Amino acid sequence: MKVSFQKIETNMNYAFYVKHMHFQYFSHPIMFHPEIEILLVIQGTGTLFIGNSIVHFGPGDLVMIGSNIPHGWQSDEKYTRANSKLISEIKIILFKPEIFGEQFWQLPESKGILKIIKLSQRGIKLTGKTLEEVTSLIDSITTAIGFNRIILLLSILEKISKNNEYQTITILDIQNMIDVKDSNRLNKVYKYLMNNYQKNITLEEAASIANLSVPAFCRYFKKRVNKTFIQSLNEIRIAFACQLLIDEDHSVTNICYTCGFSNVSFFIKKFKKITGLTPLNYRKEYTD
């Protein structure tokens, strides 16, 4: 899960990148690139890391991620198994704001789009009717040619900016929140958490991964991620609990222990604090 700069190889015949992709699972490390990313999940489930937040993704999710924001898509384990026949499918748009020219952003008519471009620094997840309309436009842009591509991209951005049917994924703007030069240390910690979240992880263990003392590690982690190590660990565990509630017919008690919690009452309390729902209500909302 090393943070890396990703250079997007674009077709010289087009101003921006559009792709309809099929693959077994997301294999990208946490990355960043100057292009703004609009990604529609058609098939596949997993975890999205964006800045200091961790959220579950699944079919129908549509996310817009700002320029140079560290983020990574990780498929659920069932997709990465050697004998898995599951398929992931996405439609993705990558574009640089400067393709429209500097004067474009000074136009009064562009203010709404510029606002949503800036808001994408927090990551945006679309909801409601806007989600349906933008999904339809993305279906069209993947097969469009010529200037119609530009028209459709602007229509997508206008649809997103016109209504308030979206959720910001993080609380703070997250550009440069992670020091890319020091990202290897942070990603070693995240990789350890992802591989061992089911176990009883101590601060001492995490600090040793980062090669820091416990007090220095706590300061380091809070500064980089804007939350405590324990908060992040609980969010990772809850993210996996959400997946089990949707995909598997396990009891709440079983999921509690499977995801690394040792007390059911504490698990339910943390689950509700992070998701706004109890585990059973979450399962009902996403499976009915």
pTM for the structure as a whole: 0.66
* Residue range 32-78, pLDDT digits in tens: 788 999 999 999 998 888 866 778 899 999 999 998 787 888 888 88
The domain over range 4-168 is classified in CATH as 2.60.120.280: yes
- pLDDT over 90 at 195, yes or no: no
Residue spans per domain, the chain: 4-168, 180-287
Share of residues in the chain with pLDDT > 70 (%): 87
CATH of domain 180-287: 1.10.10.60
Rounded CA-CA distance 254/213 in Å is 34
Rounded CA-CA distance 150/152 in Å is 5
Taking residue 64's Cβ as centre, other Cβ atoms within 10 Å add up to 24
Rounded CA-CA distance 14/49 in Å is 29
pLDDT category of residue 4 using cuts at 50, 70 and 90: very low
- pLDDT over 90 at 245, yes or no: no
Radius of gyration of the chain (CA): 20
- pLDDT over 60 at 3, yes or no: no
Cα–Cα nearest to 60, from 134, 115, 171, 152: 134
